Structure formats: structure tokens, C-alpha cells
Chains A and B, each alone.
Chain A
Amino acid sequence: MSASTTGTRQIAMVLDLNKCIGCQTCAVACKSLWCKDEGTDYQWWCTVNTMPGRGTPKDYEEMGGGYKDSIPVRGIAPSREDFGGGWKFNHSEVFFDGNPEHKPLRVAGEQPQWGPNWDEDQGAGEYPNSYFYYMPRLCNFCTHAACVDACPRGAMAKRSSDGIVVRDEDRCRGYQFCAEACPYKKIYFNYELKISQHCIGCIPRLEQGVAPACARQCPGRLVFVGYLDDEDGPIHKLVNEWKVALPLHPEYETLPNVYYIPPLAPAPFNEDGSVNEAGSRIPPEHLESQFGPGVHDAIDTLKTEVEKARSGEASGLMDLLIAYNWQDLFPDFTRDPIDITWD
């Protein structure tokens, strides 16, 4: 073990899916900041999808990668088509160039059949017990980062100071082994620069004490950011004490550091139209397929604490999730960016 290991820390996020309304503000905030340059047109490092659904990229859960019994699993590198997006529209043709036949505003050229949020709000279930929930996804800052493990060039690394997985874009030669190995498929290929790219963990912001764009701009107040080992911080409490925050697809074995509070759902109706008070519209097996077997206890804990709140009892968990002060979501990154003076 290297000497610096003792000094290593891990930044983690907890995303409370019961607060996520699928508004895409995180996605737009991220894209507006980082993905404006050449070759990033179709890149959305942070995406939000409706679940159950095919996700981004399309059917990402069937694309392999990650580990099985600690052995890397062969995966597929998602393509631009799998992600969709990067659309250019015919604004000028519709508005200014003369359009007496009233052609509508459309993607120029071939019409898309998929996009970053194509199956939004379609969900699953049988009416009236239909259901869906929203899931934002970004780089998972994995403890056992399959992408780092995959890069033959050592172009990727996990930082000791915060565990963010970074890429040396100058070293990257676009082999896309990282994208094959990443089981979450959150690595994009820049077809202009011919390198892979992914969420940079908003390192320039973190280094200034400012919360990541996706977290700071989230109007639903659902993104907690902090150091996993900070026992006073919300992350540690939610992940390790209350155990209500779970990694997505733990079976991928990369030990992700983005955790999710699993979704509650409306009570379903019985065949006769009466309400099944004890039930949930989201099948437990679906939740388990996403968050692993720990999800059942997590849901039980959430329900117990919600009940407590309804009966007027105090609940430390509920208070934590309410996050009365916005900045409690990211206690170590509360700096207002406007307080920074650039040289």
C-alpha cells in the first residue's frame, strides 16, 4: 500500500429519488458549463431518465462492463447513436428562409429515433397502478473504478484527495476501453477530438469550495455532496448509519460513490378498486434490480420514519432528508462562486 493511501478521501453524493422531479436542471446546468465545445454537442455528462426505462445510453444495463467476482467483464462502448442527441434544428429554414409550405421545426436531416430522455414519463405498470420515478445519473466516482482499471495508457486516475476519477485528455488516445469497462456507461466519445470524455466532478468548482453544478443548481434539493468519511456529514449518516442510501447496481462491483435514496410510490389499487394501503406500485423486485437486496430494508426504514413524522414524532432521518438549510446538502462546499476573484 502506498504512503498516500492514509491521506485519501472520497467525495460521495447521495441523490434522494423521492425529491427528484426529473426536471433536467442538473443536466442542463452541467451541459451549459462543460459541454459546449467541439465534439461535446451530444454529451450530457449528467442525465435524468424515467425509470423503469431504457436509460441513457439506450439499454445501458445490457452493455456489460464492471466486474464479476472481481474479474473485469467485457462491455460495449456506447456510441453516439446509443446516447442520441446532439441535434441540430432547421430554425432558419422555418423562420427566415421562406417557408410558404409551413414546414415544421425539426431536427435537420435524418429524424432521431432516440435521445437522452426519449422514454420520459412512459414508465411501467397497468393503469391505474402505473408508476415511474426519475433517476439522475452521472459519473459514480467508483472506489473500484473499472475505467481506470481499463485504460492501458494510464490516462485515467482516481485522485487521492477526493476520489474523483479524472482523465488526462492529453494522454487519452480514444481507445474507449474505459467506456467498455464502465458498467454505468457514463463515458462519451468526442468524435472531433477523438478522445473519451466524462464528468469531471466539477473539480474546478470543488477546488474553490463550490458545490458541483448539478448539485448546486438542483431545485429539488436532492443532491447531497460530501466526504464519505465525515461522520458529521449527511453522506455518512445516510449511507452508513441509516443505510437508506444505496449504490446503483452494486452487482457491477465497482463500488460506486453516488448513492440513491430509493423511491417510495403511491399505494396501488386492488382489483375491486379499493386502496392497498400496505402496497407500493413499484414492484420490490424492480427496486432490487436497481439497488440490490439492501433496498428492502432501506424502504422499510423510510416508511417507518415517514410514519413517525406523520404521528408527530421527531425523526433524525426525516430532518436530514428535509435539509432545512439548503447548504446542509453540501456542508463542505458552500462557497458562493461570486466570492471568487480570478487573477
Chain B
Amino acid sequence: MAADVTKTETTSNPGVSKRYHDMWKWDEVYWASHCIDCYPGNCPLRVYVKDGQVVREEPAGAFKTVQEGVPDMNPMGCQKGAGWTRLLSADERVLHPLRRVGERGDGKWEEISWDEATTEVADSILDAIEEVGPESIVAPSGCNIGPLALVGRGKFMGNLGGITLDLNAEMNDFSAGLYMTWGTFDPVSSIDDWFHSEIFLIWFGNPVYNRIPHYHFISEARYHGCEVINIAPDVGPSASHADYHMPVRPGSDAAFALSMCKVVIDEGLIDEKFATEQTDLALLVNTKTNKYLRESDVTEEGSSRQFYAWDARSGQAVLAPRGTLFWGDVEPALEGPFTVDTKDGPVEVTTVFSLMRERLEDYEPEKAAEICGIDADAIRSLARKIATKRTNILGSLNNASKHYHGDLIERSQILLLALTGNWGKHGTGMRSWGSGFLDGMLAFFLKSKRGPELTGNMLDMAEAMMQMTLQNDPTLTRKIVSVEQSRNSEPMGFVPPVFFWYRFAGYKEAWDNADWHDPSMKRPFEEYFNEAVEKGWWRGADVPHEDSPPRVLIECGGNVLRRTRGGSKRLLEHLWPQLKKIVTIDVRMSATALHSDIVLPAAQQYEKLGFGIPSSHVMNLTFCDKAVDPPGEALQEWEIFRRIAEKVEERAKERGVEPYKDSRNRTYDPKTLHETFTSSGEWLDQEVIFDEMLRDTAMVGTIPENASLEDLREKGFYRWQGLGLSARAVAQATDPQPDETFVPFRKHVEEGEPYPTLCRRSQFLIDHDWFIEADEHLPIHKEPPGIGGDYPFQVSSGHNRWSIHSLNTANDLMLETHRGEPHVVVNDHDAEKLGIEDHDLVRVFNDAGEFKVRVKISSGACPGQVVMYNGFDNYQFPDWAGPNDAEPGMIKWLHLAGGYGHFKYWATEWQPCPVMRNTRVGIEKA
């Protein structure tokens, strides 16, 4: 630096022009959030309105410190939220009801009136009912929409008898491995609880991209002494702030996890108390059959749901308690074998732990290193750390489950946590996603009249039933009862979409292709599928049946053509021709809207009331006010469904359509649809509906007693005082505290409450016949099958940084923060071999299909892998062929299993979900 440092003179104090001062001024401010599926979102914002227009938004920054010594959650927001205003007047917006002109997908439209539009939709619905039946009316279940659309679509479809495709299979945000082990897949700690972690494993996640509002808790935890470890094949964005990056070979994560399990056990680092209490590891297994020793094996009248452990103190098999995880006077042995007298004489049994330990012999670090590509010493070193420190796996947004063997990977990860005592304590655990805490919204589906009386009655009745059930079986808990009740109900007419896809949407060819499955699938896929149906494992949920082809598709809040693994081309080829009417309700033109017959304009955020998706991530009910009217003829979704319902009722009367039944023998009357939908005019006004939901939620005690729309308008958000009565809330198994970060499963760990699984413990042994046949009764590593064909590259993905799904992918502000069009990331050496230069257009192809896309070259991409971030809409690709067109959308046959404890459909939970990671592709210059 120069010795003679000069300073710029500062003798004056000029300002900036008034123009800039005026730019920042506003007339009105409203609370806002983006009530979309940018789960867990829930960022409280303020929108600023000037001259009747929203001019911008900004985080409210209004959170108070929750726990002393833990950073607060402010400001929460991201670039998409900061640029949302741009979408209100964006060129992509639909402003009037539109009817297709020309062929589907031609992108030509005529404006029609709401009356014309609803008449056309209503008539097509009635035609479908008359021709086929109500289950020919299908709604995908996008949730980029907020509660007005959720309740609107739910009430409409529910009262019509149509089917709604379970969103979790559509998105594949279901973590099968978590569900198999815990009986629920959605334990979720609050984001500020991350601060308590000492080891933070970013494993199947990319929080730098998709946890923008929350990432600071990771960097702050790091400054607080936490080691951040990113386990991923690619040196991606979330490696940038990690202390270690572990370049695991694609799809080999289970081997890595199991190897660490072996180190923990071999080095005596296992938390035995935790493992024996929380898991089935101490339960006894028949060594010949690999099945649990059941009471029914021992005595004639014994229960098939009663299991055993070996009491080291008394030296005999004892019944494992079902009502508690605690063993009392029993000292359960962790290692077998033992001999037990059964009905059929003495049999050799051992513990699940011993079986598992035997299996772990294949994962000696040196051996595992060859499978997973991680240095043996690095495996040992990390295992030791995990065993001694509070460890959190951020399985951010379910990426493991998007692998064919994601269940095995997740089960292996949980085993590692189980052996090291890493859940139910601050700073520990493994995350998926959870929601559904807004009891007022659930109550709304059942309520026909305003006021606390009906809600009070419902609550009293529910509580009475709960008490009765608990008294009948003292081993039950509220969690188990709630979960079981959910497993026996069909909220909002959800069905697992596998049956629809297999029967009507062209998936059969792909799923029946044995080459794209794991070699341990012994029989043809179709046999498993039929067996599952024939055995009644999916009874009531296996609709539509073969005799109910789809006729009307109503897309509201989603974009089925973009997001369905299996591809837009498959749906367009197989499903579309069967559909007589395709209706999309959206704020914008999506790939699905572009291929629709009717597009109905919906209100954006800030133009209607909304709540963020309630989740224990953020622990708040977050409010979005209506700051301005929707433009053009756009309407909020409740009103859109109401108008369609009104028209269905009117046309049904005119046409004389009689009451009809669905395949489950429930009766519907289209002539009273509007009457039912609005509860005889009770539910017309969004303000009334929201106010009612809030007051009802307050009655459950999860938000302040005096909660109302007026009060929330003042405060902007409520911190949850409790999580409420819904199964997913109770399943968190922790009561939130006002001055503490939230971590689920405390009741299991601290109070010994059993889990809602077959064996009432975290269950690593799945002794379902299919699983034993596949050698997946215990966690194991299996290579990903060659989905897509014999091609040299494997696709990886994950949410992108620049959009929330495809919702704001066309926002020109966001487009300018990348290259303005989709890209795949390819390793520099791979690119060189392929003769590909940066920004070249390439063809990505396999036996399932192809798409074209630009290339971004980075040495961070794992050789042999292409990273195609998810969220771009198909219309951003040449010929509108998106990445899903090269994804066959395979499901794992084992996920059709049922008739086994907790293996039972429950909306958003147990069901097969299509996968796409590790799909094999070739690349060449286009």
C-alpha cells in the first residue's frame, strides 16, 4: 500500500435526489407470507402498497428470541420472496377465464366469461359422472396454493366423490425408510434447534439452495462449535461451508452409514440403553425364518403382535412391553443366540441386533470404502464423532427417498442414529417434513355452521372416543390412537396414485420392466401389484378401478405435467386422450395449463388471505393478508370452486342428474353440491372462513385463546403453544415449550412412549414376507438398478435455488440470477471427453426418453454424474420436453406391501412413490 494514503474530502453532506426518497415511500403496509409449498417457508413479511399497487415486500423481522443463547429466527426470507411482487403483474399471469383454441398445447386461447367457463366445466363433470362415475374426476394435489385452495379443492372433490391423487406420491416427498422404522415419516425439529447440534450431517440435502431462510442456523451452529459435514457425490453449494465434504459414490450411502454402524459397535461406542429402549434391536428373531418371535409362536392363544426379548437377569425370553419402551426389571440382552420353547418345540432365536451385526460384517471400513468411495479412516473418524456428539442429519426435503433404494439408505442412517442415541434430544435427529397442525382447517371440513358450539361438540366427542380407546387397551397412547385413526380414514378423498398411474397413465410398461428394478425382485412386478390388490392391502384406496377411466382432470395449485416422474410425454400420450376436459386453476401459465382445455385465473399471494403451511420447523402460524384485489377477472380459489359447485348444482337440476355412488358405496347428490359446499351459504366469504379456522384452532389451544382474523391482522403470526390433535402433530411426540427450541420424539426418549409401528419400537427388522424374500428385512446396501437403460451417466437432482418448484421459474428477476434457462451440471473432465463446452446445448437421453438442455461445467460435479436441478418448467426446454421425460418414474415393488402392522395407507404416508435419482442417461452435443 502506498505510504501516502489519501482520503477523499468530505466537506459537504449532500443527499440523494428526492426521486429516491419517493421510491421508498408507501401508503399502506400489510402482513404477508407466501402460502405456497416452499415448505417449510412461513416467512413473515410486510408488503408495501402505494397508489393501490403492491410495490415491494420485505421480511418483517419481528421474531423474538425463543431460547436464551440461541439465535433468533429473523429475518427469514429469500430472493424469491423478495421478488414476489414482480409476479403480480408478470407476463405469465392468467387474467381471464380462457378456453383453448385449436389443439391441446397449441398455446392459443379465447377469453370467455366466468359463466361460460363454469358451465363448460360443470357439464363435463356431469357427463363424466353419467358416463363413468365420480372416480373419473381426478384432481392432482398440488399445494402451491394456500389454504383457500386446499379447503376449496378438498370440499369440492370430497362432495363430488372424485379422487385426489396423494401429493406425497406425486412429489415423492415421502420417506419410506423413516416410515418403516418409526411408523411416521415426519418428525421435524424447529430450525433453531439445529443450533444445538455438534455434528451436522448435510446428507441428501442442499440447504444452501433450498433452506435459504434457515441456513444461518447451520453457519451459527458451526461458530458455536458444530462440525458441518456434507455427504454427497458432488461438491455442491452446500459443500462450500462444510468443514468436511465426503464424496460418496452415487447411491452407496447405505454402505457408508452401515460401515459407521459397524465402527460404533466394534469400538464399543454404542449407546446400549437408547438402542434397547427405543428400537427393536433387543427383540428376538427366529434365526431360521428371520421373523420376530411372536407370542403366537409360543402359545396357541398368543398374540401375533406381541414380541419377546431375552432377559439376561432371569435367563429367559420375556414379553416385550407394548405400552412402554422402558424395560422395568428386565435386562434385555442385546446379543444372542438363545433357545426358546415354542408351540413347535425349541427353536433358535437371536436378537435383531445380532442379526444386524452379522450383516455388518460386510461393511468393515476397508470393504465399505471400496463400495462408497470414502476413505476407511474418514469413515472411522466420523463414526467416532457421531457416537460422542449430538448429531443431526439434515435429510433436507427427502432426497434419499427419491432413490430407488432410498428406504434402505434411510434405515441405515437411522440405525446409525439409534446406535449413538441421536434423537429425541436437542440438536439431534433426522428430518423429513411434517405439517397439518391447523386443527381449525381440519375442523372446517366437518363444520356446517359458524360458532364454537359445533367445534366444542366435535372436540368433546373426539376426546371421549380417545378416552374409550385408551381404556380398552392401556398399552395405547394418544399418538398411536391418532395415527391408527388416520390410517383408517381417507381425508379429502386422497388416494395413493399408483393405481391410477398403473391402470390409466401409461406407467405399466415401465414398472413391468424387470431390468429397471432391483434383481432381488423375484417375480414379475405385475404379480406383486396384483397380489397387493387381491390381498386387500389397499382396500378402499386402490381406486380408480379398471372400470373407471379418467374423464375430467382438475389441476389446482400444482403442475402435474412438470412434476410427475414418468414424464409429460407419457401423460400426454396415455392419459390425456382419455380426458374429456382438462381444467387448470392457476395464477399463471404452467406446462399443465398450456395443455389444458380451460384455464381459470386464480388470485396470487397478497391478493387473498392465506396461512403458511403449518410446521414445527418454524413453529408459527404465519399469515398472509389480502393487500390488493386480484387483477383482471382472477378470483381466489375458494370462490372458483364455489362457482363451479354452483353451476354443477344448477346444471344437474336442469339435466335431472340423479344421486350417484362411488366405488366405496358412498352416495352423492349433484343437485345439492353448492348447498353442501357452502353449508347452505355459511361459507361464502373468505374472511369468515379464515376467522372461523382461527377461532377453532384456538379452541384446541395451539394458538392464543383470543385468536381471530382481526387479532392476527395485528400480530402477523402466532407461535404454536401446542401442535394440536392431528395425527402428524401428535406424532411429533413432543409438547412445544415457549422458551425452548423444538425437537420431536422427546416423549419416546424421555417418557418411553411406544412408537406406532408393528412392534411398538423403532423397527429395523421388517419381517414381511416380501422383505425377507428381497433380503431387505434388515438395512443393507444395494446398488441402484439401471433405470433408464445401459448408459454411462447417472442423474442427480434436488430443488434448485431460483424457483419454488416451477412456481416462479419464469420470474424475469430470478431468471437473470442464473442463465435464464435450464442447465445441467457436468464434470469438467467428462465434458472434455464428450467434446462439450460450457453453455453448449446437449441431448440427455435414455430408453425412457430425452430432453435438451444447456451445460454448465464444474469440477464440483462428480464424474459420471449429471446434476439436473428440479423446478424448471417443461416449457423452458426445447420442444417442452423436461427432465421428467427421461425419468421412467419407477416405484419399488416392496412399497406395495401391506397387511403388516403399520404398512397401511394413510394420506401422505405409506405408499409407493416414483423415484428418479440415479436414472441412467447418455449425453451428447445437441
Contact = CB atoms under 8 A, between A and B. Distances in A.
A336 B83 contact: no
Interface stretch (B223-231, B632-640, B904-912): B223-231
A255 interface: yes
Interface string A181-217: 0000000000000000000100111010000010011
Contact of A95 (B83, B236, B594): B594
B817 interface: yes
Chain A to chain B: the 8 pairs with minimum beta-carbon distance, closest first: A91-B91, A99-B107, A326-B74, A309-B225, A128-B247, A95-B589, A130-B235, A130-B860
Given A85-B816, A204-B24, 10 more contacts: A5-B11, A23-B79, A27-B79, A31-B83, A32-B82, A96-B589, A98-B107, A127-B247, A127-B828, A144-B5
Interface stretch (B112-120, B769-777, B791-799, B874-882): B874-882
B883 to A, nearest CB: 14
A306 B226 CA distance: 9
A338 interface: yes
Contacts of B242: 266
Interface in B812-828: 812-821, 825, 827-828
A318 B224 contact: yes
B65 A324 contact: yes
A137 interface: no
A28 B876 contact: no
Interface string B187-218: 00000000000000000000010001101100
Contacts of B92: 91, 95
Contacts of A22: 208, 237, 801
B76 interface: yes
Interface in B522-576: none
B13 A102 contact: no
B245 interface: yes
25 contacts: A16-B219, A19-B219, A23-B78, A25-B77, A32-B86, A95-B594, A99-B106, A104-B879, A115-B818, A116-B816, A116-B817, A122-B858, A132-B240, A143-B8, A149-B8, A169-B19, A217-B77, A219-B78, A220-B216, A220-B219, A253-B2, A275-B381, A309-B225, A325-B71, A326-B71
Nearest to A107: B820
Contact of B243 (A34, A113, A221, A266): A266
A158 B216 contact: no
Contacts of B60: 336
A105 B817 contact: no
A310 B109 CA distance: 62
A70 B4 contact: yes
B15 interface: yes
Interface residues of B, number: 124
Contacts of A306: 222-223, 225
A104 B241 CA distance: 35
B103 interface: yes
B858 A130 contact: yes
Interface of A: 2, 4-5, 8, 16, 18-19, 21-25, 27-29, 31-34, 36-37, 44, 67-70, 85-89, 91-92, 94-100, 102, 104-107, 112-113, 115-118, 120-134, 142-145, 148-149, 157-161, 163, 165-170, 200, 203-205, 207, 213, 216-222, 250-251, 253, 255, 263-267, 269, 272-275, 306, 309-312, 318, 321-327, 336-338, 342
Contacts of B861: 127
Given A100-B103, A104-B877, A325-B65, A310 B227 contact: yes
A150 to B, nearest CB: 11
A32 B813 contact: yes
Contacts of A207: 15
Contact of A130 (B109, B243, B859, B873): B859
B10 A5 contact: yes
Nearest to A252: B1
B56 A32 contact: yes
A105 B827 CA distance: 26
A321 B74 CA distance: 15
B102 A157 contact: no
Contacts of B10: 4-5, 8, 157-160, 163
Contacts of B17: 168-170
A32 B21 CA distance: 14
A205 B24 contact: yes
Nearest to B821: A106
Given A18-B241, A95-B589, A115-B816, A217 B75 contact: yes
B375 interface: yes
B107 A97 contact: yes
B471 interface: no
Contacts of B85: 32
Contacts of B863: 127
User: Among B15, B76, B378, B857, which residue has the most Cβ atoms of chain A within 10 A?
Assistant: B15
Contact of B13 (A32, A161, A205): A161
Nearest to A282: B240
Interface string B369-404: 100001101100100000000000000000000000
Contacts, number: 361
Contact of A219 (B13, B213, B241): B213
A87 B820 contact: yes
A220 B71 contact: no
Given A70-B4, A87-B815, A21 B72 contact: no
A118 B239 CA distance: 20
A267 B12 contact: no
B16 interface: yes
B819 A112 contact: yes
Contacts of B230: 266
A129 B108 CA distance: 51
A157 B5 contact: no
B917 interface: no
Nearest to B10: A160
Interface of B: 1-2, 4-17, 19-21, 23-26, 29, 46, 56-63, 65, 69-72, 74-79, 81-83, 85-86, 90-92, 102-103, 105-109, 208, 212-213, 215-216, 219-220, 222-225, 227, 230, 235-237, 239-245, 247, 369, 374-375, 377-378, 381, 589, 594, 801, 810, 812-821, 825, 827-829, 838-839, 856-863, 873, 875-880
A68 B26 CA distance: 45
A96 B109 contact: yes
Contacts of B216: 19, 219-222
B240 A265 contact: yes
B858 A89 contact: no
Contacts of B381: 275
Contacts of B378: 273-275
A142 B8 contact: yes
User: Among B77, B819, B876, which residue has the most Cβ atoms of chain A within 10 A?
Assistant: B819
Contact of A326 (B72, B219, B374): B72
A146 to B, nearest CB: 9
Given A324-B65, A326-B61, A25 B239 contact: no
User: Among B10, B58, B857, which residue has the most Cβ atoms of chain A within 10 A?
Assistant: B10
A144 B10 CA distance: 10
Contacts of B2: 67-70, 253
Contact of A204 (B20, B46, B61): B20
B58 A217 contact: yes
Contacts of A124: 859
Nearest to A311: B225
B240 A133 contact: yes
Nearest to A129: B235
A98 B108 contact: yes
B105 A336 contact: no
A324 B71 contact: yes
A45 B215 CA distance: 24
Contacts of A161: 13
A175 B127 CA distance: 70
Nearest to A85: B816
B817 A117 contact: yes
A48 to B, nearest CB: 8
A32 B239 CA distance: 30
B213 to A, nearest CB: 5
